[in-house]
Amino acid sequence: MQGNINATRMELLRLRRRVSLAERGHKLLSDKRDEISRQLILISRQLGMLRKEVEQELVETSRRFVMARATMEPEHIRAAMDVPTKTFSLAINFASIMSVRVPRFTKDIAGEIISYGFANTSGELDIALRGLEKVFDRLLELAEKEKQAQLLADELQKTRRRVNVLEHVVIPELGEMIRFIYAKLAEAERDNISRLMKIADIIRA
């Protein structure tokens, strides 16, 4: 690479500008990496608690459904669940965290989850459906947070690679090129001084 370098003061100035730009980029990317790491830690803490709560609520809801099946005739369960009256739609918007587009889920739910009479149904079925309705909100929140964490983790990996390339490849290579040009210019300066001294000796003789 050094053989292709023009050892001139203009080239030296150009390389020093590139080093300055690379160092600024390194600083910005390092700050971005640190902030993404901080955001990921926050989301991970939220995810841990949220996942535990959702799992507990789903286990309890499943238990209620099992108890409802044990106390109801199969045809009564089918009849109770045959005609859903609750409608659901989901909109996905996007927000930005450190220039990363992350999803925001907005739901629109209408109607009642309980769409049957109470003559042939168990109270456990009512509790199970209400529990399912409640945990659904938490499931959406969990899905949103997990997708955010995934996208931020991908961006963190890319940012780390860029920081490492700048820190361990680009900036050191530019520094080596600058040192090479300095050495060549110093060598040329010494040659000029030596030549001038010889000319002065000739003139004095």
Burial of 121 (0-12, 13-18, 19+ CB in 10 A): buried
What's the CATH number where 78 sits? 1.10.287.3240
The pLDDT of residue 32 is 94
Whether residue 205 lies inside any domain: the answer is: no
Residue 155 contacts residue 100 (beta carbons within 8 Å): yes
What does the alpha-carbon distance between residue 30 and residue 15 come to, in Å, rounded to a whole number? 22
Looking at residue 98, the DSSP 8-state letter turns out to be T
Place of tokens 């830690």: 41
pLDDT of residue 128: 82
Query: Is the CA virtual torsion 121, 125, 127, 133 positive or negative?
Result: negative
Please give the residue range of the domain that contains residue 97: 2-194
Which segments of 42-99 are extended strands (E)?
A: 87-97
pLDDT, one tens digit per residue, over 122-146 is 778 888 888 888 888 888 889 999 9
User: Cα(132)–Cα(61) distance, rounded to whole angstroms?
Assistant: 6
pLDDT for 122 equals 75
Q: For residue 125, tell me if it sits in a domain.
A: yes
Positions in the chain whose pLDDT score sits under 70: 1-3, 80, 83-84, 115-120, 205
- Confidence (pLDDT) at 205: 64
Q: In the chain, what is the straight-line distance between the N-terminal and C-terminal CA atoms, in Å?
A: 45
**Residue 200 domain-assigned (yes or no):** no
Q: Is residue 202 part of a domain?
A: no
Q: What is the pLDDT of residue 3?
A: 52
Would you give the DSSP letter of residue 101?
Answer: E
| Count of the separate structural domains present in the chain | 1
